[in-house]
Amino acid sequence: MFIMMQDYDINQFKNPLFTVDSVLFTVIDSVLNVLMVKRLIEPFAGRWGLPGGFVDVDKDDNTDMTARRKLTEKTGLSPRYLEQLQVFSGINRDPRGFSVTSAYYALVAHQAVETRIETVEQASWISVNELPNLAVAFDHKHIIDIAHKRLQQKALYSMVPIYCCPDHFTVGQLKDVIETIIEKEIQRKSLMRRIESSDMFEFVDQKVQSGGRSAQLYRVKKDVSMANFERNLSV
């Protein structure tokens, strides 16, 4: 019996606690928000945590699917953009022992999902500005911070922020999303040049009013890949 326990422990030793967690971002009214879930179980029951959990080898072909499944389970939505962030690991980040989380970050347009979010009671958008004063589980505050910095960097040389825009969007909307993410104003002209040169977008035959001259609507072309630029926008 004691030897069985030892075998068991050896197996545990080779396999740290492994989870997948996602930082799902969206921009609402020029504020960057993160989807968080009120934890119902220990450890850290009652605190806010990132949507995530264990891999289910019967359902998940890989950890990307774990991330997507957990986001869908807990929020009813599948993000338009999902990418690995990095692994966070250590002996102190989970009271149960050495743990590893493969963290992802993801983007959605809040317009497409906000009604569905509200029906899932334990999930909620949290402004990143409120995070410092919030009781958060594990090292999830740190993970969000790293994810935010990565997203900021990515926004300087790619068009990824479009995934925070609805299907049809104006240049003004995209500009606002980018400025919210990088926390700095950009030149509309620079954005127009990138929209043009990326060749990712096409006009929607429709305009939308905005308090002044109507704005042209754009959408992402079918089957285009994400544009990356050779230069960063200035910081």
Q: Which residues lie near a second copy (CB under 8 A)? A: 8, 11-18, 54-57, 60-63, 84, 86-87, 89-91, 97-98, 100, 102, 230-232, 234
CB of 105 to a second copy, least distance (A): 13
Pairing type for strands 52-53 and 215-220 reads unpaired
Binding partner of residue 57 among DNA, a second copy, none, CB cut-off 5 to 8 Å per kind:
a second copy
Residues in the chain: 235
Name the residue nearer to DNA (CB basis): 142 or 184: 184
Residue 26 interacting entry, from DNA, a second copy, none, C-beta within 5 to 8 Å by type: none
Nearer to a second copy, 56 or 118 (CB): 56
Whole-number Å distance between alpha carbons of 169 and 64: 28
- Partner whose footprint covers residue 186, from DNA, a second copy, none (CB < 5 to 8 Å by kind): DNA
SS3 30: coil
Q: For residues 63 and 69, is the Cβ–Cβ distance under 8 A?
A: no
Tell which phi-psi region holds residue 221, choosing left (phi > 0), alpha (psi between -120 and 50) or beta. Answer: beta
Q: Which is nearer to a second copy, 96 or 222 (CB)?
A: 96
Binding mask 207-226 for DNA (x = CB under 7 A): x-xxxxxxxx----------
Q: Which residues of 92-103 are buried (b: 16+ CB within 10 A; e: fewer)?
A: ebbeeeebbbbb
Q: Any idea which residue has 């993000």 for tokens?
A: 79
What is the gyration radius of the CA atoms in the chain, in angstroms?
20
126, amino acid identity: I
**Applying CB under 7 A, which of residues 39, 74, 110, 194 lies at the interface with DNA?**
194
Distance CA 232, CA 74 (A): 35
Instruction: Map the footprint of DNA across residues 172-191, applying CB under 7 A.
Output: 172, 186-190
Picked from DNA, a second copy, none, the partner binding residue 89 (CB below 5 to 8 A depending on kind) is a second copy
The 10 Å Cβ neighbour count of residue 217 is 19
**Residue 6 contacts DNA per CB under 7 A:** no
Asked if 192 touches DNA (CB under 7 A), the answer is yes
**Which of a second copy, DNA, none lies near 221, with the C-beta cut-off 5 to 8 A by kind?**
none
